[in-house]
Amino acid sequence: MAPVIELAQRRSTFRLAFVSAVVSLVAAFVASAVPIPLYNTYRAEDRFTNADLSLTVVAYDLPTLAALLLMGRLSNHVGRRLTSVASLGLLLLGCLLLLNVHDIGILLAGRVLMGLGAGLASSNVTAYIVDSAPDRPAWLASVASSQTPMLGLALGAIGSGALVQVGPWPRQFVYLVAAALLLLSALLIVISPETVTPTPGAWRSLRPSVRIPARVRPLLPVAAAVFLATWATGAFYQAFVPVLVQDQLHTHSPLVLGLVFAAYMAPSAVGAPLGGWFTPATAQRIGMAAFLAGLIGIITAIVTGSLALFIAATIVAGASQGIAISSATRGLLHGSTVTDRAPIFSVIYLICYSAAAFPSLISGQLSNVFSLPQIALGYGGLTLVATVFTVLAARNPDTDRPLEG
Protein backbone atom coordinates (compact mmCIF):
# COMPACT_ATOMS: atom_id res chain seq x y z
CA MET A 1 0.00 0.00 0.00
CA ALA A 2 2.91 2.37 0.69
CA PRO A 3 3.78 3.00 -3.00
CA VAL A 4 0.09 3.71 -3.75
CA ILE A 5 -0.13 6.22 -0.87
CA GLU A 6 3.11 7.91 -1.94
CA LEU A 7 1.86 8.16 -5.53
CA ALA A 8 -1.40 9.73 -4.34
CA GLN A 9 0.50 12.23 -2.20
CA ARG A 10 2.80 13.11 -5.11
CA ARG A 11 -0.18 13.70 -7.39
CA SER A 12 -1.80 15.90 -4.74
CA THR A 13 1.30 18.07 -4.26
CA PHE A 14 1.84 18.33 -8.02
CA ARG A 15 -1.79 19.38 -8.38
CA LEU A 16 -1.01 22.33 -6.12
CA ALA A 17 2.05 23.15 -8.26
CA PHE A 18 -0.05 22.97 -11.44
CA VAL A 19 -2.74 25.30 -10.05
CA SER A 20 -0.13 27.70 -8.67
CA ALA A 21 1.76 27.82 -11.97
CA VAL A 22 -1.41 28.39 -14.00
CA VAL A 23 -2.60 31.13 -11.63
CA SER A 24 0.84 32.76 -11.76
CA LEU A 25 0.98 32.73 -15.55
CA VAL A 26 -2.53 34.19 -15.70
CA ALA A 27 -1.47 36.89 -13.23
CA ALA A 28 1.65 37.68 -15.26
CA PHE A 29 -0.36 38.34 -18.40
CA VAL A 30 -3.19 40.08 -16.56
CA ALA A 31 -0.56 42.58 -15.40
CA SER A 32 0.81 42.81 -18.94
CA ALA A 33 -2.63 43.76 -20.32
CA VAL A 34 -3.61 46.23 -17.60
CA PRO A 35 -2.19 49.34 -19.35
CA ILE A 36 -4.03 48.74 -22.65
CA PRO A 37 -7.47 50.21 -21.72
CA LEU A 38 -5.63 53.28 -20.42
CA TYR A 39 -4.00 54.02 -23.78
CA ASN A 40 -6.81 56.29 -24.97
CA THR A 41 -6.64 58.11 -21.63
CA TYR A 42 -2.94 58.66 -22.17
CA ARG A 43 -3.64 59.78 -25.75
CA ALA A 44 -6.24 62.31 -24.63
CA GLU A 45 -4.67 63.62 -21.42
CA ASP A 46 -0.93 63.26 -22.12
CA ARG A 47 -0.98 63.62 -25.93
CA PHE A 48 0.61 60.27 -26.70
CA THR A 49 0.54 59.50 -30.43
CA ASN A 50 -0.26 56.28 -32.31
CA ALA A 51 3.47 55.89 -32.98
CA ASP A 52 4.14 56.25 -29.24
CA LEU A 53 1.67 53.48 -28.44
CA SER A 54 3.16 51.23 -31.13
CA LEU A 55 6.55 51.84 -29.52
CA THR A 56 5.22 50.51 -26.20
CA VAL A 57 4.66 47.14 -27.90
CA VAL A 58 8.31 47.11 -28.93
CA ALA A 59 9.42 48.26 -25.45
CA TYR A 60 7.57 45.26 -24.02
CA ASP A 61 8.53 42.66 -26.62
CA LEU A 62 12.26 43.30 -27.02
CA PRO A 63 13.07 42.86 -23.28
CA THR A 64 10.93 39.74 -23.40
CA LEU A 65 13.13 38.42 -26.19
CA ALA A 66 16.25 39.27 -24.20
CA ALA A 67 14.91 37.43 -21.13
CA LEU A 68 14.08 34.38 -23.25
CA LEU A 69 17.55 34.31 -24.81
CA LEU A 70 19.46 34.84 -21.57
CA MET A 71 17.28 33.16 -18.95
CA GLY A 72 15.25 30.60 -20.87
CA ARG A 73 17.13 27.67 -19.27
CA LEU A 74 17.75 29.20 -15.86
CA SER A 75 15.02 27.25 -14.06
CA ASN A 76 16.69 23.95 -15.01
CA HIS A 77 19.54 24.98 -12.67
CA VAL A 78 17.97 27.09 -9.89
CA GLY A 79 14.47 25.59 -9.89
CA ARG A 80 11.09 26.53 -11.31
CA ARG A 81 9.87 28.21 -8.12
CA LEU A 82 12.70 30.75 -7.80
CA THR A 83 12.49 31.87 -11.42
CA SER A 84 8.68 32.03 -11.21
CA VAL A 85 8.82 34.33 -8.16
CA ALA A 86 11.48 36.46 -9.87
CA SER A 87 9.27 36.91 -12.95
CA LEU A 88 6.32 37.97 -10.79
CA GLY A 89 8.60 40.41 -8.93
CA LEU A 90 9.65 42.13 -12.17
CA LEU A 91 6.03 42.51 -13.23
CA LEU A 92 5.19 43.91 -9.79
CA LEU A 93 7.91 46.55 -10.17
CA GLY A 94 6.46 47.45 -13.59
CA CYS A 95 2.99 47.94 -12.09
CA LEU A 96 4.37 50.18 -9.34
CA LEU A 97 6.30 52.29 -11.84
CA LEU A 98 3.19 52.82 -13.96
CA LEU A 99 1.21 54.27 -11.06
CA ASN A 100 2.26 57.74 -12.23
CA VAL A 101 2.32 57.89 -16.04
CA HIS A 102 2.37 61.36 -17.58
CA ASP A 103 5.41 60.94 -19.80
CA ILE A 104 6.02 58.41 -22.56
CA GLY A 105 9.39 57.55 -20.99
CA ILE A 106 7.69 56.29 -17.81
CA LEU A 107 5.27 54.16 -19.82
CA LEU A 108 8.13 52.70 -21.87
CA ALA A 109 10.19 51.97 -18.72
CA GLY A 110 7.25 50.21 -17.08
CA ARG A 111 6.67 48.13 -20.20
CA VAL A 112 10.36 47.17 -20.26
CA LEU A 113 10.10 45.77 -16.72
CA MET A 114 6.90 43.96 -17.62
CA GLY A 115 8.55 42.55 -20.74
CA LEU A 116 11.45 41.15 -18.71
CA GLY A 117 9.01 39.56 -16.26
CA ALA A 118 6.83 38.13 -19.02
CA GLY A 119 9.87 36.70 -20.80
CA LEU A 120 11.08 34.96 -17.67
CA ALA A 121 7.56 33.62 -17.05
CA SER A 122 7.03 32.53 -20.66
CA SER A 123 9.77 29.91 -20.58
CA ASN A 124 10.02 29.00 -16.89
CA VAL A 125 6.47 29.20 -15.54
CA THR A 126 5.15 27.44 -18.63
CA ALA A 127 7.72 24.68 -18.06
CA TYR A 128 6.46 24.48 -14.45
CA ILE A 129 2.92 24.01 -15.80
CA VAL A 130 3.97 21.16 -18.11
CA ASP A 131 6.06 19.50 -15.37
CA SER A 132 3.13 19.38 -12.96
CA ALA A 133 0.21 18.85 -15.36
CA PRO A 134 -1.91 15.70 -14.92
CA ASP A 135 -1.37 12.93 -17.46
CA ARG A 136 -5.02 13.04 -18.54
CA PRO A 137 -6.40 14.57 -20.66
CA ALA A 138 -3.34 14.36 -22.89
CA TRP A 139 -3.89 17.80 -24.41
CA LEU A 140 -4.09 19.60 -21.05
CA ALA A 141 -0.38 20.44 -20.75
CA SER A 142 -0.11 22.01 -24.21
CA VAL A 143 -3.42 23.89 -23.91
CA ALA A 144 -2.66 25.21 -20.41
CA SER A 145 0.86 26.30 -21.33
CA SER A 146 -0.04 27.92 -24.66
CA GLN A 147 -3.44 29.45 -23.86
CA THR A 148 -3.00 30.68 -20.28
CA PRO A 149 -1.26 33.84 -21.59
CA MET A 150 -4.25 34.53 -23.86
CA LEU A 151 -6.65 34.04 -20.95
CA GLY A 152 -4.57 36.36 -18.78
CA LEU A 153 -4.46 39.05 -21.46
CA ALA A 154 -8.24 38.85 -21.92
CA LEU A 155 -8.98 39.01 -18.19
CA GLY A 156 -6.51 41.85 -17.74
CA ALA A 157 -8.02 43.90 -20.56
CA ILE A 158 -11.62 43.40 -19.41
CA GLY A 159 -10.89 43.92 -15.72
CA SER A 160 -8.73 46.96 -16.36
CA GLY A 161 -11.31 48.49 -18.71
CA ALA A 162 -14.07 48.04 -16.13
CA LEU A 163 -12.01 49.45 -13.26
CA VAL A 164 -10.79 52.41 -15.30
CA GLN A 165 -14.39 53.25 -16.21
CA VAL A 166 -16.18 52.75 -12.88
CA GLY A 167 -13.49 52.32 -10.19
CA PRO A 168 -11.70 54.90 -8.08
CA TRP A 169 -8.42 56.52 -9.17
CA PRO A 170 -8.79 55.39 -12.80
CA ARG A 171 -5.10 55.82 -13.64
CA GLN A 172 -3.77 54.01 -10.53
CA PHE A 173 -6.26 51.54 -9.09
CA VAL A 174 -5.87 48.93 -11.85
CA TYR A 175 -2.14 48.71 -11.19
CA LEU A 176 -2.72 48.23 -7.46
CA VAL A 177 -5.15 45.38 -8.15
CA ALA A 178 -2.66 43.75 -10.53
CA ALA A 179 0.10 44.13 -7.93
CA ALA A 180 -2.06 42.38 -5.31
CA LEU A 181 -2.75 39.51 -7.73
CA LEU A 182 0.98 39.14 -8.42
CA LEU A 183 1.74 39.02 -4.69
CA LEU A 184 -0.91 36.33 -4.16
CA SER A 185 0.52 34.29 -7.03
CA ALA A 186 4.03 34.53 -5.61
CA LEU A 187 2.73 33.23 -2.28
CA LEU A 188 1.14 30.23 -4.02
CA ILE A 189 4.43 29.46 -5.76
CA VAL A 190 6.32 29.64 -2.45
CA ILE A 191 4.09 26.97 -0.84
CA SER A 192 4.16 24.71 -3.92
CA PRO A 193 6.60 21.82 -4.51
CA GLU A 194 9.60 22.07 -6.82
CA THR A 195 9.49 19.88 -9.95
CA VAL A 196 13.18 19.87 -10.90
CA THR A 197 16.36 19.12 -9.01
CA PRO A 198 18.63 22.21 -9.14
CA THR A 199 21.94 21.49 -10.85
CA PRO A 200 25.21 23.43 -11.28
CA GLY A 201 25.70 25.62 -14.31
CA ALA A 202 23.31 28.53 -13.66
CA TRP A 203 25.82 31.15 -14.81
CA ARG A 204 26.70 29.17 -17.95
CA SER A 205 22.98 28.88 -18.74
CA LEU A 206 22.80 32.68 -19.11
CA ARG A 207 24.79 32.53 -22.33
CA PRO A 208 22.40 33.10 -25.26
CA SER A 209 21.31 29.74 -26.62
CA VAL A 210 18.52 28.43 -28.82
CA ARG A 211 18.01 24.68 -28.71
CA ILE A 212 15.20 22.34 -29.62
CA PRO A 213 15.23 18.51 -29.70
CA ALA A 214 16.04 16.96 -33.08
CA ARG A 215 12.90 14.86 -32.93
CA VAL A 216 10.59 17.85 -33.37
CA ARG A 217 12.94 20.22 -35.23
CA PRO A 218 11.27 19.53 -38.62
CA LEU A 219 8.00 20.86 -37.12
CA LEU A 220 9.48 24.26 -36.30
CA PRO A 221 9.03 26.06 -39.68
CA VAL A 222 5.27 25.52 -39.75
CA ALA A 223 4.94 26.28 -36.04
CA ALA A 224 6.87 29.51 -36.66
CA ALA A 225 4.43 30.46 -39.43
CA VAL A 226 1.50 29.87 -37.05
CA PHE A 227 3.09 31.91 -34.27
CA LEU A 228 4.08 34.69 -36.68
CA ALA A 229 0.60 35.28 -38.08
CA THR A 230 -1.32 34.97 -34.82
CA TRP A 231 1.00 36.93 -32.53
CA ALA A 232 1.54 39.68 -35.11
CA THR A 233 -2.22 40.13 -35.26
CA GLY A 234 -2.38 40.21 -31.47
CA ALA A 235 0.18 43.02 -31.47
CA PHE A 236 -1.93 44.82 -34.08
CA TYR A 237 -4.85 44.69 -31.67
CA GLN A 238 -2.71 45.96 -28.80
CA ALA A 239 -1.27 48.87 -30.79
CA PHE A 240 -4.23 49.89 -32.95
CA VAL A 241 -7.39 48.84 -31.13
CA PRO A 242 -7.34 52.05 -29.01
CA VAL A 243 -7.52 54.26 -32.10
CA LEU A 244 -9.84 51.80 -33.83
CA VAL A 245 -12.32 51.88 -30.94
CA GLN A 246 -12.19 55.66 -30.78
CA ASP A 247 -12.21 56.57 -34.46
CA GLN A 248 -13.95 53.65 -36.15
CA LEU A 249 -16.36 52.51 -33.43
CA HIS A 250 -16.94 56.05 -32.08
CA THR A 251 -16.57 55.37 -28.37
CA HIS A 252 -14.09 56.50 -25.72
CA SER A 253 -15.10 53.80 -23.21
CA PRO A 254 -12.11 51.98 -21.63
CA LEU A 255 -14.42 49.02 -20.96
CA VAL A 256 -15.37 48.74 -24.64
CA LEU A 257 -11.67 48.94 -25.52
CA GLY A 258 -10.92 46.13 -23.07
CA LEU A 259 -13.81 44.02 -24.37
CA VAL A 260 -12.72 44.40 -27.99
CA PHE A 261 -9.16 43.35 -27.12
CA ALA A 262 -10.50 40.44 -25.03
CA ALA A 263 -12.76 39.35 -27.89
CA TYR A 264 -9.58 38.37 -29.72
CA MET A 265 -7.73 36.80 -26.78
CA ALA A 266 -10.44 35.02 -24.76
CA PRO A 267 -11.86 32.73 -27.51
CA SER A 268 -8.34 31.40 -28.02
CA ALA A 269 -8.58 29.52 -24.70
CA VAL A 270 -11.97 28.13 -25.75
CA GLY A 271 -10.82 27.03 -29.20
CA ALA A 272 -7.59 25.42 -28.01
CA PRO A 273 -9.12 22.18 -26.62
CA LEU A 274 -10.82 21.62 -29.98
CA GLY A 275 -7.40 21.06 -31.49
CA GLY A 276 -7.05 17.98 -29.28
CA TRP A 277 -9.66 16.22 -31.42
CA PHE A 278 -7.25 16.14 -34.38
CA THR A 279 -3.62 15.34 -35.07
CA PRO A 280 -1.29 18.37 -34.67
CA ALA A 281 -0.89 18.79 -38.43
CA THR A 282 -4.61 18.63 -39.19
CA ALA A 283 -5.45 20.96 -36.34
CA GLN A 284 -2.90 23.53 -37.53
CA ARG A 285 -4.38 23.46 -41.04
CA ILE A 286 -7.93 23.87 -39.73
CA GLY A 287 -6.95 26.56 -37.27
CA MET A 288 -5.02 28.68 -39.77
CA ALA A 289 -7.69 28.39 -42.47
CA ALA A 290 -10.33 29.59 -40.02
CA PHE A 291 -7.96 32.29 -38.74
CA LEU A 292 -7.51 33.63 -42.27
CA ALA A 293 -11.30 33.70 -42.72
CA GLY A 294 -11.65 35.61 -39.47
CA LEU A 295 -9.00 38.14 -40.46
CA ILE A 296 -10.69 38.73 -43.81
CA GLY A 297 -13.86 39.51 -41.86
CA ILE A 298 -11.93 41.89 -39.58
CA ILE A 299 -10.47 43.80 -42.52
CA THR A 300 -13.89 43.99 -44.18
CA ALA A 301 -15.42 45.31 -40.95
CA ILE A 302 -12.73 48.00 -40.59
CA VAL A 303 -13.29 49.14 -44.19
CA THR A 304 -17.10 49.20 -43.87
CA GLY A 305 -17.28 50.37 -40.26
CA SER A 306 -19.45 47.41 -39.21
CA LEU A 307 -19.19 46.84 -35.44
CA ALA A 308 -21.19 43.58 -35.49
CA LEU A 309 -19.01 42.05 -38.21
CA PHE A 310 -15.84 43.24 -36.46
CA ILE A 311 -16.77 41.56 -33.16
CA ALA A 312 -17.94 38.34 -34.86
CA ALA A 313 -14.82 38.08 -37.01
CA THR A 314 -12.60 38.86 -34.02
CA ILE A 315 -14.15 35.98 -32.08
CA VAL A 316 -13.65 33.60 -35.03
CA ALA A 317 -10.02 34.65 -35.38
CA GLY A 318 -9.45 34.32 -31.64
CA ALA A 319 -10.93 30.83 -31.39
CA SER A 320 -9.11 29.56 -34.47
CA GLN A 321 -5.75 30.91 -33.33
CA GLY A 322 -6.26 28.87 -30.16
CA ILE A 323 -6.61 25.72 -32.25
CA ALA A 324 -3.52 26.51 -34.32
CA ILE A 325 -1.22 27.69 -31.50
CA SER A 326 -2.03 24.89 -29.06
CA SER A 327 -1.61 22.25 -31.79
CA ALA A 328 1.74 23.68 -32.87
CA THR A 329 2.83 23.69 -29.22
CA ARG A 330 1.60 20.11 -28.74
CA GLY A 331 3.73 18.96 -31.66
CA LEU A 332 6.86 20.68 -30.36
CA LEU A 333 6.35 19.23 -26.86
CA HIS A 334 5.97 15.69 -28.18
CA GLY A 335 8.27 13.35 -26.28
CA SER A 336 9.92 16.20 -24.35
CA THR A 337 11.83 15.60 -21.12
CA VAL A 338 11.86 17.83 -18.04
CA THR A 339 15.10 19.54 -19.10
CA ASP A 340 13.82 20.02 -22.68
CA ARG A 341 10.74 22.02 -21.74
CA ALA A 342 12.17 25.38 -20.68
CA PRO A 343 14.42 25.60 -23.81
CA ILE A 344 11.51 24.57 -26.05
CA PHE A 345 9.30 27.28 -24.59
CA SER A 346 12.15 29.75 -24.98
CA VAL A 347 12.23 29.00 -28.71
CA ILE A 348 8.45 29.17 -28.98
CA TYR A 349 8.20 32.53 -27.28
CA LEU A 350 11.27 33.93 -29.03
CA ILE A 351 9.37 33.39 -32.26
CA CYS A 352 6.10 34.70 -30.79
CA TYR A 353 7.48 37.92 -29.36
CA SER A 354 9.60 38.56 -32.45
CA ALA A 355 6.42 38.17 -34.47
CA ALA A 356 4.73 40.73 -32.24
CA ALA A 357 7.59 43.23 -31.98
CA PHE A 358 8.98 43.68 -35.47
CA PRO A 359 5.73 43.97 -37.49
CA SER A 360 4.46 46.34 -34.80
CA LEU A 361 7.59 48.48 -35.10
CA ILE A 362 7.19 48.65 -38.88
CA SER A 363 3.44 49.27 -38.84
CA GLY A 364 3.82 51.94 -36.16
CA GLN A 365 6.10 53.91 -38.48
CA LEU A 366 3.82 53.27 -41.46
CA SER A 367 0.82 54.57 -39.49
CA ASN A 368 2.08 58.07 -40.25
CA VAL A 369 1.68 57.37 -43.97
CA PHE A 370 -1.00 54.69 -44.41
CA SER A 371 -4.55 54.43 -43.09
CA LEU A 372 -5.66 51.84 -40.56
CA PRO A 373 -7.52 49.73 -43.20
CA GLN A 374 -4.35 49.67 -45.33
CA ILE A 375 -2.23 48.54 -42.37
CA ALA A 376 -4.81 45.85 -41.55
CA LEU A 377 -4.58 44.67 -45.17
CA GLY A 378 -0.83 44.21 -44.72
CA TYR A 379 -1.46 41.91 -41.74
CA GLY A 380 -3.96 40.04 -43.88
CA GLY A 381 -1.31 39.44 -46.53
CA LEU A 382 1.08 38.11 -43.88
CA THR A 383 -1.61 35.73 -42.62
CA LEU A 384 -2.40 34.53 -46.16
CA VAL A 385 1.24 33.53 -46.75
CA ALA A 386 1.45 31.79 -43.35
CA THR A 387 -1.80 29.91 -43.97
CA VAL A 388 -0.78 28.62 -47.40
CA PHE A 389 2.56 27.46 -46.01
CA THR A 390 0.85 25.71 -43.08
CA VAL A 391 -1.66 23.92 -45.31
CA LEU A 392 1.10 22.68 -47.61
CA ALA A 393 3.84 21.84 -45.10
CA ALA A 394 2.22 20.87 -41.76
CA ARG A 395 3.31 17.47 -40.47
CA ASN A 396 2.95 15.36 -37.35
CA PRO A 397 5.77 14.50 -34.90
CA ASP A 398 8.01 11.66 -36.01
CA THR A 399 7.86 9.04 -33.27
CA ASP A 400 10.81 7.10 -34.69
CA ARG A 401 13.47 9.83 -34.32
CA PRO A 402 15.65 10.17 -31.21
CA LEU A 403 14.93 12.89 -28.66
CA GLU A 404 18.43 14.32 -28.45
CA GLY A 405 19.97 16.87 -30.72
Of 124-128, 138-142, 223-227, 357-361, where does mean pLDDT reach its minimum?
138-142
Q: Domain ranges in the chain?
A: 2-393
> Which of 100-104, 111-115, 148-152, 231-235 is predicted most confidently?
111-115
Whole-number pLDDT of residue 138 = 66
pLDDT over threshold 70, residue 401: no
Please say whether the beta carbons of 383 and 294 come within 8 A. Answer: no
> Which of 46-55, 206-215, 296-305 is predicted most confidently?
296-305
pLDDT tens digits, residue range 91-129?
Answer: 999 999 999 888 888 999 999 999 999 888 877 888 888
pLDDT higher at 349 or 139: 349
Please report, for residues 316, 368, 380, the alpha-carbon distance to residue 374 in angstroms, rounded to integers and kept in the order given. 21, 12, 10
Of 129-138, 234-243, 395-404, where does mean pLDDT reach its minimum?
395-404
Q: Can you tell me the distance from the alpha carbon of 221 to that of 390, in angstroms, rounded to the nearest whole number?
A: 9
pLDDT over threshold 70, residue 217: yes
Whole-number pLDDT of residue 288 = 94
| Spacing of C-alpha 107 from chain mean position | 20
pLDDT tens digits, residue range 360-386?
Answer: 778 877 777 888 788 889 999 999 999
Across the chain, mean pLDDT equals 82
2-393 in CATH: which number? 1.20.1250.20
pLDDT tens digits, residue range 1-56?
Answer: 433 334 344 555 678 888 888 999 999 989 988 888 888 788 778 888 777 777 88
Whole-number pLDDT of residue 284 = 93
pLDDT over threshold 70, residue 161: yes
Average pLDDT for 132-161: 77
pLDDT tens digits, residue range 192-203?
Answer: 888 888 777 777
Percent of the chain with pLDDT over 90: 25
Please say whether the beta carbons of 161 and 259 come within 8 A. Answer: yes
Please report, for residues 38, 76, 342, the alpha-carbon distance to residue 199 in angstroms, rounded to integers and kept in the order given. 43, 7, 14
Whole-number pLDDT of residue 205 = 67
Tell whether the torsion through CA atoms of 303, 309, 311 and 314 is positive or negative: negative
